[in-house]
Structures are given as C-alpha cells and as structure tokens.
Amino acid sequence: MHRPPTIEHFRNATATIGIIGLGYVGLPLMLRFVEEGFRVLGFDIDPEKVTALNNSESPIAHLGQEAIRQARSQGFEATTDPARTAEVDALILCVPTPLDDHREPDLSYVLGTAETFAPHLRAGQVVALESTTYPGTTEEELRPRLEAGSGLTVGEDLFLVYSPEREDPANPNFTTRTIPKVCGGVTQACLDAGVALYSAIIDEVVPMSSPRAAEMTKLLENIHRAVNIGLVNEMKIVADRMGIDIYEVINAAATKPFGFVPYYPGPGLGGHCIPIDPFYLTWKARAYGLNTRFIELAGEINTDMPRWVITKLADALNDRGKPIRGSRILVLGIAYKKNVDDMRESPSVAMMELLRDKGADLRYSDPHVPVFPKLREHRFDLASTPLTAEALAESDAVLIATNHDAFDYELIRQHAPLVIDTRGIYRDPAPHIVRA
C-alpha cells in the first residue's frame, strides 16, 4: 500500500490543491486554502469565468475583487484544462448536483467530471467530493469511474473521501474556517488523508465511519431545515386564517430555553441545497422499498408557498378593485436569501413567473442582481429598478420577496400603495400592508 506522500505536505502547506467548480462552494474553499499558504489550481468548464478570475475579477459579489486579487498574488490560477490534474496533490470536486425534469437526482456533473479528470490522476493523490448527494454515490458511482479511468486503486494508490460543503453565503457569524467539517473515507487510509487535507484549513474536522454516513449527514442537516420550514409555513397559513400574528407566536415560543428552535416562514425555499436535497434521499429510499412521506409532505408545502403568496396578492388587489392582469407589480429581491446575489431555486423567480402568467406588468429591484441573469429554466428581459419614492408610488403592489438589508423599508412603507410582506418586515398593522 502507498501511504499518501501528501499528508505531511497538507500539514506544512506545501501541497498544491486542485478545486473543480469555482462557484459558491469552490471559491470560498480556494480562498481558505490560499489564506493558509497553499498553492491552488482551480478548474472550471466556463472559459469566461476562468478568464475573469485570472484577471482578478470576482464572479460572486459578496467575495469581492480584493479577495480574488490577493489570491492571484499568492499563486492562485484558474484553468479549463483537466490535463493539469497531475500538478495537484488533492482534487476537490465542488460541482452541481441538481434535479432533473422528473425531480430525480442528476449526477451528470459529478460523473462527467470524474470521467474527464480520471485519466489524468496519478498515484498518491487525494480526491474529495463535496457536492450534496444520496448515500452511496462516492463508493458506488464515483469510485468505479475514478479507478477505471485512472488504472489506480482507491485505498492503495488513490485516496477518496466525501466531505460535504457547509457554506452559508453572507453569514457574518460563521466562515469556512469555523464551520466544522465532516469527512468519510472509503478506507482508513483515505480517511487519514482526508482529515489531514481539511485539518489544514478547518478548525474542527469530524471523522466519520464511511462516505455513506457523511452523505447521509449532509442530507439530514438540510432535510431538518426543510421539514421545520415546511412546518412553520403551514403554521403561517393557519395563523393567517385565524387572524394571529405568526411572528409574535414564533418569538414567544423562542423564549422557551429548551426544546424549541425558531424557524421563520417565507415565500418558499431557495438555494442549491434545501429545496433539492430532500429529493435525493426520497429517491434513494425508494430503492429500499421505503416511502419518506413526512419529508415529501414538507416539500409539497414549501413548493406551494409561492402560489399561496400570489393568491394573497391577488386578493389584496381585488379588494382594491384591480386584477393582476395589467397591474404594475414591483418585486423586491430576487436572490434566494438576503444580502447575496445567488438566485438558484429562488422562490422570487417562481412568484415572478406566476405573476407573468397572470398578465402582470412586472419589474424588480435588487441591488445584488443588477440584470436578470440567463438561467436555464427562467427567462426575464429585465434590469433592476432603482428603489425610489416614485418607483414605489407608481406601482399597484410591491412584493417584498427577499429582505435585503439595503432596502429602505420606511421609504417602502411611506410610498407603496400596497405592500405584500412575505418576510415579516412590518410588525405594526397598516391598511396597505398585507402579510403573506
């Protein structure tokens, strides 16, 4: 057996790290390795992104130009060339794992990446998968492709681990370094290598018995959130019908010092994890003859929230003698969460599509997304509208979809004729403010 020669290099930061996928997961990871003195080689299939990074430009707003410039000055380089895999001591896969048109796992990015890079692997390298996926992916899907393509044996020549990302963009309380990282290796030698790799940049690495256990851990974390958000969204609907302020109820319940964790309702789920990950487990569970009814019910509730919000908006307009068709509706915030530019699975976009289908005259305002991007499934030829008193006053309804800190909520209260508040911004009742 070959003991990974890179373990000592991880400990003294003399290893070269390869990161495949330079997005919301890969770039923060790159910056963290660079911060500890590692040379990092980044791989991406998007030549425009590679060029931008090599020109010290950041494709992600909250990371900033200065961070990329500093990384470049410390040796970071981006490339589209998989043949350069031989230069690195560890290869970390941070590629998407979306759902296909049938809401089933789409592993094409992971498996395609493995097949592309495997011929260029060499003995002694560590390969880590960070993409969220169902239990068994690393061992049943990734391992055979790496071994077949490289001619290397996992656990002897090649050291394979699964260590799911736990990024929370724009969260001021946690960083890549301070968020504990779980890691499961195919063999003990793999685990040792993986722990050494991540211990170089993470304060606490949590070793696990297998990649399958680590894969399940990631799903549990996100399903926990999805189920609890589904619960509080359903409670919101009940409270709304009963004329009860759900935010008052949640905040009161949160005063209990044990047995309760506050979750807050919203217009639906967004991001690359929470709306998608439950389906990875439900799909895999069916292979074992199991139905995950509880998880699927939460998914149905959360998926239906944009439609419930638009119904509330339609009722509010109707009370003012206006239909949705032809009404001027200003959507505030189209990113999936506050203070970021990430639009993956954003419920704001789902609500915009519902409004467009009903004939609304749509505009949006989002300081983090100046132009509506070209998305695979969603098309809007729109640019962000400056949030002014005039823009608010000329709207028939203003829909607060994402609660960015940059919005002037007092300005909105004063000048919008009708506000649909999906984020609990306004606690004091007012005739022109509708909770949704």
Strands, E assignment, 120-189: 126-129, 159-162, 181-185
| pLDDT tops 90 at residue 274 | no
pLDDT value of residue 1? 46
Which is higher by pLDDT, 62 or 245?
Answer: 245
Give the pLDDT mean for 113-141. 96
Angle at 85 between CA 154 and CA 142, to 5 degrees: 35
Q: What is the DSSP letter of 2?
A: P
From 248-262, 265-279, 312-326, 383-397, the region with the lowest mean pLDDT = 265-279
pLDDT value of residue 109? 95
Give the pLDDT mean for 121-126. 95
Give the pLDDT mean for 225-238. 96
| pLDDT tops 50 at residue 157 | yes
Residues annotated catalytic, as ranges: 273
Give the pLDDT mean for 87-113. 91
| pLDDT tops 90 at residue 86 | yes
In CATH terms, is domain 233-435 a member of 3.40.980.10? no
pLDDT value of residue 4? 56
In CATH terms, is domain 7-209 a member of 3.40.50.720? yes
- Domain ranges in the chain with CATH number 3.40.50.720: 7-209, 233-435
Mean pLDDT of the chain: 93
pLDDT value of residue 17? 97
pLDDT band, very low/low/confident/very high, at 377 (cuts 50, 70, 90): low
